[in-house]
Chains A and B, each alone.
Chain A
Amino acid sequence: MSHSLFRTHWDAGVHPRLHHMDRGTAYEAAKLGMWLFLATEVLLFGGLFAAYVIYHWMYPAEFHAASHHLDRTVGLINTIVLLTSSLTAALAVDAAQHNKNKKVSLYLALTIVGALIFLAIKSYEWHHKWTDGLFPGSVSPEGIAFNSPEFTHAYKMFYGLYYCMTVVCTGFTLFLVRPTLGGYSTIQVRTAGHRSTIPQWRLVPCTGTWSIDLDLLIPLLYLIG
């Protein structure tokens, strides 16, 4: 493994991110930065949430009917996959706190596997939406196009919000791979005899929000019927 770049920084006692503060301060700053990022994420999801509330209020009957087209069992399985992923991410941090580097790598790998399973289940679900004519641009087996006026406005709103919200979640999944891998490579640096406590904080809030997002999504979209 080539970690010579990182090792040089550490051997010189200078880390690219640490040069202007001590490690305790850097740890606190990195953690607050992560929570700040989460704040923006809550507001992003909050906008979609607000749109959902208003349209649910305007078209309650249509929203309930549209929600029946979503498979609750698939939603349940996907939630449990993401909860497991959150657990492994939390356990990766726990292992890092105990300085068990091999375990950290294992748990991070499991977290990524969870993310991939989530994406696989989502693509299965969306494929069904396409064949059933419930995806923008698709045509149902009865020959009714999603974009046609026969398909009521409320249905389009429900599915529009469904796709927006799940894209946010799916986007998170993809976005997460990067910090997770980032954490992975920096933890590898620790194996070389150095200790970094900052990267672990990158992944905790990430998987946390990710499961909280889906957690709100499932009742709103799948369970209102």
Chain B
Amino acid sequence: MFGQILPMKIYLGVFAALVVLTVVTVQASYLETGPAMHLIVAMVIASIKAGLVAMFFMHLKYENKITWLYAAFPLILLAILMGGLFIDNPYRVKTVPIGKQPVEEHVSAPAEH
């Protein structure tokens, strides 16, 4: 047969871990911490879960190098996109919603002579 055969306890164990992590991430969101901490905890747990699904449910752990390359390159592209946004955004003039732009004011009043 093609493909790595995994023992049943791996599937069930991974599933149990995923459910536990899901419950943990929801419970953690009720804790009294700063919003930044909420986001960090939630994203770290989500990454671990995504990794578990890819590695075991999708058998990535047992795949050859070319499959790993195919799995990795969109993440690299995504990192470039996000990296670019993080570099770019702080230096932008704050965007104002369409229709809410303030009326341009004269910075210096014209001299009256």
Contact = CB atoms under 8 A, between A and B. Distances in A.
A211 interface: yes
B46 A43 contact: no
B58 A225 contact: no
A97 B5 contact: yes
Contacts of A186: none
Nearest to A91: B11
A215 B49 contact: yes
B42 A219 contact: yes
Main secondary structure of the interface of B (DSSP, over half): helix
A220 B2 CA distance: 38
Interface residues of B, number: 50
Interface of A: 23-24, 27, 31-32, 35-36, 38-40, 42-43, 46, 49-50, 53-54, 57-58, 60, 64, 72-73, 75-76, 79-80, 83-84, 86-87, 89-91, 93-94, 97-99, 153, 197, 200-201, 204-205, 207-208, 211-212, 215-216, 218-220, 222-225
15 contacts: A49-B78, A50-B82, A58-B94, A72-B29, A87-B12, A93-B3, A204-B58, A208-B57, A215-B46, A215-B49, A218-B25, A219-B42, A222-B26, A223-B26, A223-B28
